[in-house]
Structure 1
């Protein structure tokens, strides 16, 4: 019903009523998002023996067995054959070739997504004759890039393929030496596969003579949702421009220049060119078509362990809008929450760690300052080997800390969300959210650091009274398995109070000393 005003000579508004039908606009998802290829999610019961996928090269199967991998996880069993099939049609589009569909993979943390792209990419490049950058893997953090680079090195070790890691941990000149060699008649490429962070990648596009992406066949975007959020850095347009630019812009044979994929026409099939296939991987892949449109996907195909959604659930109302049962969690993960007051939070985490006596506990806070204060407090309390992992430290120091944590030399690692993204630290038995995450996507990545690859693990979230309702409702609406309430009574905390008060006093002294040093 619409009300329309009329203005009469008296200067008074009168309203006349008219009726009209208002059609409700239904949310719409593209078919590829609404109808994904469903992947089983149980990484212990739905394993596929490696011999059941004979398309994988025998040498790679041998490497898999040598590293104790006898079966594929469900996401690997689904994605590897699909990627191998798309690569088997040749490297050229046109003259009998074709443009392969881009692939998106949404699967839980610890489900084996890295190997799902490493194996087919390595196999597709095995027969290359000349070294060019043909695969580019872009990740949001240096630690993730290092991790993926290690996996690639394992499966290219006995091949002519070369892997380069460019993250800024080495000087630009040192990285250039691993990428390009100057020769008498130009430049020679030294890497087939480049694993990079966005900023450093753009540095090489701009500043490294001879660095070319014009032979790029695979663009892998890992932790894709976070990479989409960082599109303001304009790294993807720079990569695409570098991949499709012409070496001779004034070349009259413009039709022979590499072009971005469009609809297939008679003209587009007349001239061969190298296809560029984008591969997106994430545990929390957005279903917002507007966000995904930024990636310029070509006839995309989605593999997902979650249920297809009826409409776009992503909005900007909660930053990432991730809800509605879209995400799946490791089967062996048990979720708990601990109701507590602000003053009892430090005591609660000390009680949990001392009571449960886990050898590797990963604790998350919402800020670098909170991480540092909690680290100093636990250190002053004593009885727990503790370390801090945040941007306060350089890449080399963070690498050392992660190694010590994995070796069991550090019992408690207190971190910002820097480690929540894809870092695979073996043997994490317990994840503690000291500060409750505001958004579901952050929760998914944090708790996904345990119960990986079919193992079991526990996640505890400390909740203030004012946080309980919203947090529990957010997880319930998202289909998270029911959280078990874990009460920590004041009687249990009382024996810790004297030592805690001493540690608190020491914390204040340390903070004052650090402030003085900053001023000096």
Structure 2
């Protein structure tokens, strides 16, 4: 970015990405990098009217980040000219190969000046990608990062042997034991993603799905919610989630073993990012042991058998246990003992939640009749980045309340206060213990 001239309105750099989601992420990063220098970055991707993007290109567009199809379309419509482009970047080139975009990539590169600098990034180097580099790069310097560095140093990797029919139950068991801050569950097919999401819902586990058959608006909504931390569990195909840079992902679960060792490296790379530690667990059926051996040879690691971690091992670093004495602004002690979140926390069985839902209308009618409210004290306040909407989301998602059930939310420095229906207060307090609230772990107490 330091070589881009803000005084020159021409397109000086082009970044090609395989997916819309990666395009948006790269655009956000480059805009942050170029803001102080006045470098304008324009994103080109499908699902947005061509006219809007053409207007952006007609103004200042120093760097263009785009998906392959939309970039080629804008070139053919004469909205995008690459005659002054000095830098071209191909991000996730092997993914472009998997999606069948290499012919389009070649067509775009032929329209860029021959004197440009080209950078190609790829987690793997298939023969087709190497031929692309040979055809369009002059004496390229290859920088290779060994696979063990990609997949081992920051990620603890495990295997769980399981029969095919028992995989859904095994996944629920893993989620309850591991209590991930955020997790991505990889499934091989789009149909499999939807099927697994339904099975998780039946087990009382909330999950969002991400795959190529979803509309762009739906995919964007899921990614915004997941990246912001509002959603903790994502069930996705490889194509939809590949290349996403979300530092909060603490766990990756390979529900379906990947088709190739290279895909395994991509999946595991979604966790253990930005200096964080991650955990990756692969479900292996008896027929898939050969694939597992190929993965272990490729990554240079032997996957250890998975077993439920000790309670201390499931805590995130720097996060206190969900028992604490009150701080400066707390009127009393928050909780004497924290219930086992594996039983009553984020992955609560559907039967209990179903019982609560079935009685919800009766409880709400009774509450309306007598109007009784209870004051709830929650650990988590301004110091933990908590806002009123976070308190409401915790009680709705974790406590089974409706939005209208929560009132008088007040966020203090270390704690938060709110009103809930009196006859549900004890159940809600138990249900939210151990869930995330801002940057801390919630604990709750019903005030007298």
Please confirm whether the aligned pair reaches a TM-score higher than 0.5, indicating the same fold.
yes
Retained in 2: the 8 A contact 1:283–1:327? Answer: no
Structure 2, unmatched stretches of 5+, are 309-346, 355-448
Aligned residue among 153, 160, 182 for 1:331? 153
Retained in 2: the 8 A contact 1:333–1:459? Answer: yes
* Residue aligning to 2:67: 197
Q: Which stretches of structure 1, 4 residues or longer, exceed 6 Å deviation after superposition?
A: none
* Residue aligning to 1:390: 211
Is residue 208 from structure 1 mapped to residue 62 from structure 2 by the alignment?
Answer: no
* Residue aligning to 1:482: 302
* Residue aligning to 2:228: 407
Change (3 A) 1:231 1:386: closer
Q: Distance in 1 between matches of 2:209 and 2:100?
A: 29
Report the alpha carbon displacement of residue 447 of structure 1 after superposing the two structures with TM.
Answer: 0.9
Retained in 2: the 8 A contact 1:284–1:327? Answer: no
Aligned residue among 259, 262, 271 for 1:441? 262
Is residue 354 from structure 1 mapped to residue 176 from structure 2 by the alignment?
Answer: yes
Report the alpha carbon displacement of residue 156 of structure 1 after superposing the two structures with TM.
Answer: 1.4
Report the alpha carbon displacement of residue 234 of structure 1 after superposing the two structures with TM.
Answer: 2.1
* Residue aligning to 1:238: 107
Q: Distance in 2 between matches of 1:135 and 1:453?
A: 26
Q: Could you list the per-position Cα deviations for residues 69-90 of structure 1 after superposition, in whole angstroms to 9, with x for gaps in the alignment? A: xxxxxxxxxxxxxxxxxxxxxx
Retained in 1: the 8 A contact 2:186–2:256? Answer: yes
Change (3 A) 1:228 1:297: farther
Report the alpha carbon displacement of residue 228 of structure 1 after superposing the two structures with TM.
Answer: 3.9
Q: Could you list the per-position Cα deviations for residues 457-501 of structure 1 after superposition, in whole angstroms to 9, with x for gaps in the alignment? A: 110111101111x1232123214322011268xxxxxxx9x969x
* Residue aligning to 2:30: 152
Change (3 A) 1:289 1:393: closer
Change (3 A) 1:430 1:352: same
Change (3 A) 1:214 1:338: same
TM-score between both structures, scaled by the size of structure 2: 0.65
Report the alpha carbon displacement of residue 227 of structure 1 after superposing the two structures with TM.
Answer: 2.5
Q: Distance in 1 between matches of 2:187 and 2:209?
A: 11
Aligned residue among 127, 130, 138 for 1:298? 138
Retained in 1: the 8 A contact 2:155–2:272? Answer: yes
Q: Distance in 1 between matches of 2:45 and 2:54?
A: 12
Change (3 A) 1:142 1:295: farther
Structure 1, unmatched stretches of 5+, are 1-121, 181-188, 245-259, 261-274, 307-324, 489-495, 504-520
Give the SS at the match of 2:220. helix
Is residue 463 from structure 1 mapped to residue 292 from structure 2 by the alignment?
Answer: no
Q: Distance in 2 between matches of 1:356 and 1:232?
A: 38
TM-score between both structures, scaled by the size of structure 1: 0.57
Retained in 1: the 8 A contact 2:6–2:37? Answer: no
* Residue aligning to 2:3: 124
Q: Distance in 2 between matches of 1:433 and 1:446?
A: 8
User: Which structure's relative contact order is higher, taking Cα pairs within 8 Å and 6+ residues apart?
Assistant: 1
Q: Distance in 2 between matches of 1:427 and 1:291?
A: 36
Retained in 2: the 8 A contact 1:286–1:292? Answer: no
